[in-house]
Structure 1
Amino acid sequence: MTDPVLVHRRTRGVLVAGQVLSGLGMGSTLSAGALLATLVSGSEAFSGAATTGSTVGAALAAVPLAALAQRLGRSSALAAGALTAAAGAFLGIVAAVLVVFPLLVLAFAMIGVGTAVNLQSRFAATDLAPPARRGRDLSIVVWATTIGAVVGPNTIGLGNRLGLAAGLPELAGPFLLTIAAQALAAVIYLVGLRPDPLLLARRLEAAAPAAAVARVDADRTTARVGIAVIGLSHATMASVMAMTPVHLTHHGATLEIVGLTISLHVAGMYALSPLWGVLSDRLGRILVIGLGQAMLLAALLCTSIGAESEAAVVVGLILLGLGWSASTVSGSALVAGATSPEHRTRIQGRSDLVMSASGGLGGALAGVVLALLGYAGLSLTAIALVAVASALLLTRVRAGRVRSVGA
């Protein structure tokens, strides 16, 4: 007889390994993407194609990958996404060799499917997790992204040297690392996720007594609040983070300061995610999301009031990463807990779509707001997103109290 505890433990290890590999490959490729896009297109105006293309790819893949998981399970969906990203990296090499910019944009979009895999992986960690550990298990998978996010960009030089030795054009080499990492991740998903955690969770639910199945599965309002908070928090983070390097360089900051600021921000996004997972399990999802929104507000006040101070901007970006992490980890646990295995993938696919789309839209509009209102004005404008998320949380808390009184 299959032991769900052992399957869950193995699933978590497989997902962590997949996250590390994916982060290594994508970190290398997307870090060099802006430079390669400039070389292939012949203009710095198209340097943002890597980020834009990958964001669009992640958004477009969210629902199809969720539908595939619904039909065939997590193993097939995650492996298919990783192989798509590997194919995108191969297409990127072809685009660099042929010097065809539209083909390169398509390659970035396919590589972005790897991001959709990363997002689905955090939910896959909750398929067999006990309700009291969902936040913790989810956060461990999110934390694994830290390794790839930190190490991946530092492999650009190695990838480029490998590519040049193989006769590839400048900056095409990092795509080789992405192909290898994503292909290996696909194999790990196919081999390691057996039995499939989602399919097993469904079988266990079907065999459970009717009273146990009748838990708060279909708390659709809670799921919607979780999805909205994730989207709003991601838009807040993406909009300010995307414009921070531009703001710092315009005010005379060195590239070392810019790099340090973004590195500390990324560390804030991922390094403490297990802490938020544990707290969300112990203190409640809504409370930790509220803490995340408070940190986002503090970050925006810091970057608006201290916009002319490098130190204040650095502190603000760290707080921005921490607030995003707390809100995203606990918001994802909230969504996972509000749905049953039978309907989980559909709702989670919507969550991933909203998250990717909101990040892309926030980053795109941030440039316009920066040009009109400056960095301080952008930070103050983003406070509106925090206000909406906080209002949704308060509405949810009040609704829960009314229900408990009525009961």
Structure 2
Amino acid sequence: MSAVVPADRAAVQRRTVLVLSVAQVLGGLGVAVGIAVGGLIAADIAGTEGVAGLAQTLGVLGAALAAVPLAWLTRTRGRRAGLVSGLLTGAAGAALVVTASAVRWLPLLFAGLLLFGSATAAGLQARYGATDLAEPRHSARALATVVWATTVGSVLGPNLTEPAGRLGEVVGLPPLAGPFLVTLAAFTVAGLVLFALLRPDPLHLAGLGTAGGQPHTGLRASLRDLAARPRALVGLCAIAASHVAMVSVMVMTPVHMHHVDVSLTVIGLVISVHILGMYGFSPIVGHLADRAGRVPVIVAGAALMALAAVVSGAAPAHDAVQLGIGLFLLGLGWSCGLVAGSALLSESVPAATRTAAQGVSDLVMNGVAAVGGSLAGVVVALASYGWLAAGAAVLMLGIGGYAAARVRGVRT
């Protein structure tokens, strides 16, 4: 495999990015549909809205739990095996959710939502697949292209919930189960696309799999390895902090607005603007990370998220315009942290432990988000949405300062 000439390698890289992007459109659609109605199904079965937040948290927790096993499978069997397994496990989870909705059994629903998170984990790890064969000076741009592809499915998905609900009724299921039929189909087709078209496997071609001499690396060893590498640790902290700040503020914004009876349509528009900020500009973010350096983009993203938290936290609950601006900036800052942080982490660890480090980063990212999302409601209940936003601002200012100081004098 190492004998592949540069021209052929470049052609395989272009094909890899295209195939991953197509799969991300489908996977993003399935995730967005599931997130839109998962909490509603839980509330309907349990008869109380109190379990809705738990249902959403289970999806994030499922992504965290799947991250390391999928990374291990990627290391031992290849990038295609890891991504396909994650998507098909998510499809199985969607099938369990449909069944649970039909029989109205909450434990089965929770199990399905945990498995559903595996598809989210696969979607996150797909961004690293774009860097396996990328030239170092273009790796952030390749990664960002795959992240950007998620935009299409994420924006389209919530708009399919109503027709999908009618589909559920047509086949004799509760209306809320219909969207998860779409999720099941989207995950399955995405997995088949990757299985059929992600050939040759980019990880194998790059010599990064087990066949290339990559040893087994446990969770603790991977964490120690990351902690010993300043640039890798900055990347990990940027990814994790950006994600927990974004999730914590984002999940509580609809609740904040709903307290003053803002319509669901307006709330949906605010969240759509947020998603646009998250994914829509990621190619530009990737280009900047390649040209200006990873750390400057991380610092800029942290500053944007701190500003976003201040703008959102100071907004009255009925001011959809100010909240929309705040959440757009929040999403854009998150994109900076994710894209630049992921590129920095990947290039800062040896090839022999790269997939393990990538899996650990996604475990930490989703783990802290699950905790942060759960605690966000407690903070708002005991204090206010403004205090939650203030805490996110302080966190991001701290991360920006840490990133700048930790790698000062080191080429980014």
Q: Which runs of 5+ in 2 are unaligned?
A: 214-224
Find runs of 4+ consecutive structure 1 residues off by over 4 angstroms.
203-207
> What residue in structure 1 maps to residue 257 of structure 2?
248
Residue 367, structure 1, aligned to residue 372, structure 2: no
CA contact (8 A) 1:303 1:316 kept: yes
CA contact (8 A) 2:311 2:323 kept: yes
- Number of aligned positions between the proteins: 393
Residue 80, structure 1, aligned to residue 85, structure 2: yes
Residue 320, structure 1, aligned to residue 330, structure 2: yes
User: Which whole-Å deviations, capped at 9, do the CAs of 1:330-362 have from their partners, x for residues lacking one?
Assistant: 111111211343211100001101111121111
Describe how 1:347-366 pairs up with structure 2 within 5 A: 347-366=357-376
Residue 164, structure 1, aligned to residue 173, structure 2: no
Give the whole-Å Cα distance in 1 for the aligned partners of 2:104 and 2:265: 31
CA contact (8 A) 1:307 1:375 kept: no
CA contact (8 A) 1:198 1:341 kept: no
Deviates more, 1:22-31 or 1:269-278: 22-31
> What residue in structure 1 maps to residue 219 of structure 2?
none
> What residue in structure 2 maps to residue 239 of structure 1?
248
SS in 2 for 1:21: helix
> What residue in structure 2 maps to residue 291 of structure 1?
300
Partner amino acid, structure 2, of 1:54: G
Partner amino acid, structure 1, of 2:148: W
Describe how 1:45-60 pairs up with structure 2 within 5 A: 45-60=50-65
Residue 390, structure 1, aligned to residue 395, structure 2: no
Of residues 262, 279, 301, the one that matches 2:271 is 262
SS in 2 for 1:195: coil
Give the whole-Å Cα distance in 1 for the aligned partners of 2:208 and 2:47: 55
SS in 1 for 2:190: helix
> What residue in structure 1 maps to residue 354 of structure 2?
344
SS in 1 for 2:206: helix
Offset of residue 307 of structure 1: 4.1
Change (3 A) 1:256 1:165: closer
Give the whole-Å Cα distance in 2 for the aligned partners of 1:143 and 1:53: 25
Offset of residue 399 of structure 1: 5.5
Offset of residue 280 of structure 1: 0.3
Give the whole-Å Cα distance in 2 for the aligned partners of 1:292 and 1:365: 23
> What residue in structure 2 maps to residue 212 of structure 1?
none
Partner amino acid, structure 1, of 2:238: V
CA contact (8 A) 1:53 1:109 kept: yes
Of residues 249, 252, 274, the one that matches 2:283 is 274
Give the whole-Å Cα distance in 2 for the aligned partners of 1:183 and 1:304: 40
Percent identical residues: 45
> What residue in structure 2 maps to residue 120 of structure 1?
125
Offset of residue 138 of structure 1: 0.3
Give the whole-Å Cα distance in 2 for the aligned partners of 1:307 and 1:337: 43
Deviates more, 1:66-75 or 1:220-229: 220-229
CA contact (8 A) 1:307 1:376 kept: no
Give the whole-Å Cα distance in 2 for the aligned partners of 1:253 and 1:41: 25
SS in 1 for 2:23: helix
Change (3 A) 1:168 1:306: closer
Give the whole-Å Cα distance in 1 for the aligned partners of 2:333 and 2:103: 43
Deviates more, 1:248-257 or 1:169-178: 248-257
Give the whole-Å Cα distance in 1 for the aligned partners of 2:334 and 2:138: 20
Give the whole-Å Cα distance in 2 for the aligned partners of 1:203 and 1:171: 43
Partner amino acid, structure 2, of 1:86: A
> What residue in structure 1 maps to residue 310 of structure 2?
301
SS in 2 for 1:222: helix
Give the whole-Å Cα distance in 1 for the aligned partners of 2:178 and 2:315: 40
Residue 69, structure 1, aligned to residue 74, structure 2: yes
Residue 334, structure 1, aligned to residue 339, structure 2: no
SS in 1 for 2:383: helix
Give the whole-Å Cα distance in 2 for the aligned partners of 1:350 and 1:297: 26
SS in 1 for 2:266: helix
Give the whole-Å Cα distance in 1 for the aligned partners of 2:230 and 2:155: 36
User: Which whole-Å deviations, capped at 9, do the CAs of 1:111-132 have from their partners, x for residues lacking one?
Assistant: 1111000110001100000000
SS in 2 for 1:91: helix
Deviates more, 1:244-253 or 1:277-286: 244-253
Give the whole-Å Cα distance in 2 for the aligned partners of 1:73 and 1:341: 14
Offset of residue 164 of structure 1: 1.5
CA contact (8 A) 2:230 2:407 kept: no
SS in 2 for 1:317: helix
The two structures have a TM-score, normalised by structure 1, of 0.92
Partner amino acid, structure 2, of 1:22: G
Residue 10, structure 1, aligned to residue 15, structure 2: yes
Partner amino acid, structure 2, of 1:291: A
Deviates more, 1:153-162 or 1:62-71: 153-162
Offset of residue 26 of structure 1: 2.1
Give the whole-Å Cα distance in 2 for the aligned partners of 1:142 and 1:64: 22
Of residues 366, 383, 391, the one that matches 1:381 is 391
SS in 2 for 1:322: helix
Offset of residue 83 of structure 1: 0.7
User: Which whole-Å deviations, capped at 9, do the CAs of 1:205-236 have from their partners, x for residues lacking one?
Assistant: 969xxxxxxxxx99822111101111011111
Deviates more, 1:383-392 or 1:85-94: 383-392
> What residue in structure 2 maps to residue 211 of structure 1?
none
